[in-house]
């Protein structure tokens, strides 16, 4: 075998091995995304994977994710370091937000071109699929600016090789990977093609991670509502125990349960989880309004500020959960009030029924008493009219008449 053919075989074997390795890297990224890890943890792990796999000195990610636009850079040497920075975004011609700085530098203009898809693959350093790469960054910047020492050079440090690869997360969100190396001509054409595939995998992984995270949060919320339903159905459970049970269910349903606490206030009585709930300025609340009157409030507090890679501490779904819990509490309170009213009415009906029964009994007794009373009255009157009746006996007959008349009035 000639030297030329031997080199050809080595190149094919290297390309085949690299293809297998890139596929394995993509699988690892997707598998990690499926865990639904928090954003910061996901960025750290993916950065580690890319640096260890590529051998680069640094990896930078530019991301637009909803309202959040940021730059994330990772380095492994001399010590592992991760740097996060929120970016003021710019917009392309279509109004799409791009995570680029509006400073007009060559690198930021290249970032805008790549993310906006307005590249020309016939230009030097651009690939057919819209990536930018070079093994001599100073030379590339000089050719773009026409200056021997480009102004951008100071801002990029001592890196010689750079690959900038855009990727899509969804219709409204995108990103850019920058692989940086101090070594000249660090990348090959074949590797750039593989990295372009890995970049798209990262975009898919980010979308998947976000979907997994949202799904996990929805499951937690549903578990909370299911727990409330089970609590209410417990036989003989008091309203006090229901309120405390709901307070216990709320912190685990939040996005950051380890720093969350909950409090329910109803008619000036508190039900907290943990028992000593500390009120902070990081608060989410929903009022408990029964029949148009505010009776209390459902509150959740975070003891700390939000993580750096989040736009908002509380998300809309958490507010919706608290609104739903407050609405459930209103129904529970109204149901308890209705049950109390029903019990009261039933007691009143039982009392009225007892009175009616007593009335019927009294009427029967009165009827039974009227006849003998009438006879006593008649005999007393007759005896009082007898001749020769002593005066004392006549007075006694008068007393008997009066007593009989009074008794008849009582039993009417």
Note whether 189 and 46 are same-domain residues.
yes
Nearest one of 168, 166, 218 to 196, comparing CA atoms? 166
Assess if residue 240 is contained within a domain: yes
The pLDDT score that the predictor gives to residue 8 is 42
Residue 37 structure tokens: 């890890």
Which domain, by its residues, includes 61? 12-211
The pLDDT score that the predictor gives to residue 10 is 42
pLDDT tens string 180-208:
999 999 999 999 999 999 999 999 999 99
Sign for the CA dihedral angle at 298, 304, 307, 310 comes to positive
Assess if residue 6 is contained within a domain: no
Structure letter (DSSP) for residue 121: T
Residue 61 CB-density burial (10 A; 0-12 exposed, 13-18 middle, 19+ buried)? buried
Note whether 79 and 183 are same-domain residues.
yes
Final residue in a domain of this structure, among 320, 341, 362: 341
Give residue 27's pLDDT band: very low, low, confident or very high (50, 70, 90): very high
Q: Per mean pLDDT, which range of 23-27, 57-61, 97-101, 102-106 is the poorest?
A: 102-106
Tell me how many domains the chain contains. 3
- What CA–CA distance (Å, rounded) separates 222 from 216? 10
Assess if residue 136 is contained within a domain: yes
Note whether 310 and 400 are same-domain residues.
no
pLDDT tens string 229-278:
999 989 988 999 999 999 999 999 998 898 899 999 999 899 999 888 88
Residue 386 structure tokens: 């007898």
CATH assignment at residue 270: 3.30.450.40
pLDDT tens string 70-101:
899 999 888 889 988 888 878 877 778 888 88
Provide φ and ψ at 180, rounded to 5°: -120, 140
Please, how many CA atoms are within 13 Å of residue 66, restricted to the half-sphere of its CB?
A: 9
Give residue 155's pLDDT band: very low, low, confident or very high (50, 70, 90): low
More confident residue, 315 or 410: 315
Residue 214 structure tokens: 């949202």
**How much is the pTM?**
0.71
Task: Say if residues 297 and 285 touch (Cβ distance below 8 Å).
Answer: yes
Final residue in a domain of this structure, among 308, 341, 374: 341
Nearest one of 88, 59, 345 to 186, comparing CA atoms? 59
Residue appearing with tokens 């969350």:
260
- What CA–CA distance (Å, rounded) separates 329 from 346? 25
Assess if residue 153 is contained within a domain: yes
């Amino acid at each position: 075998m000639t030297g030329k053919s031997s080199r050809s075989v080595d190149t094919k074997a290297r390309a085949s091995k690299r293809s297998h390795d890139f596929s394995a890297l993509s699988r690892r990224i997707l598998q990690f995304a499926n865990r639904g890890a928090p954003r910061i943890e996901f960025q750290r792990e993916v950065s580690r994977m890319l640096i260890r796999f590529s051998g680069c000195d640094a990896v930078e990610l530019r991301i637009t994710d909803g309202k959040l636009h940021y730059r994330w850079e990772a380095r492994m040497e001399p010590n592992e370091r991760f740097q996060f920075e929120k970016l003021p975004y710019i917009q392309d011609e279509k109004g799409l937000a791009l995570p680029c700085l509006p400073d007009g530098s060559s690198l930021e203009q290249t970032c805008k071109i790549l993310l906006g898809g307005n590249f020309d693959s016939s230009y030097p350093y651009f690939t057919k699929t819209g990536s930018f790469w070079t093994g001599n960054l100073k030379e590339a910047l000089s050719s773009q600016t026409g200056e021997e020492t480009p102004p951008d050079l100071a801002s990029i440090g001592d890196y010689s090789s750079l690959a900038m690869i855009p990727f899509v997360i969804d219709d409204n969100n995108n990103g850019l990977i920058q692989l940086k190396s101090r070594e000249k001509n660090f990348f090959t054409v074949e590797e750039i093609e593989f990295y372009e595939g890995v970049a798209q995998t990262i975009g898919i992984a980010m979308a998947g991670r976000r979907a997994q995270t949202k799904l996990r949060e929805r499951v937690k919320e549903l578990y909370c509502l299911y727990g409330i339903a089970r609590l209410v159905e417990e036989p003989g459970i008091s309203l006090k125990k229901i309120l405390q049970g709901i307070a216990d269910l709320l912190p685990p349903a939040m996005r950051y349960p380890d720093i969350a606490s909950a409090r329910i206030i109803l008619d000036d009585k508190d039900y907290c989880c943990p028992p000593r709930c500390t009120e902070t300025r990081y608060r989410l609340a929903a009022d408990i309004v029964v029949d148009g009157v505010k009776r209390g409030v459902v509150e959740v507090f975070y003891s700390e500020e939000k993580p750096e890679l989040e736009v908002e501490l509380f998300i809309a779904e958490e507010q919706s959960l608290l609104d739903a819990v407050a609405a459930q509490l209103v129904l529970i309170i109204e149901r308890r009030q209705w049950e109390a009213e029903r019990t009261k009415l039933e007691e009143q009906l039982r009392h009225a029924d007892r009175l009616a029964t007593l009335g019927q009994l009294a009427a029967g007794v009165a009827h039974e008493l009227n006849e003998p009373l009438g006879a006593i009255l008649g005999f007393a009157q007759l005896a009082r009219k007898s001749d020769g009746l002593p005066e004392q006996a006549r007075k006694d007959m008068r007393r008997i008449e009066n007593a009989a008349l009074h008794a008849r009035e009582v039993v009417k």
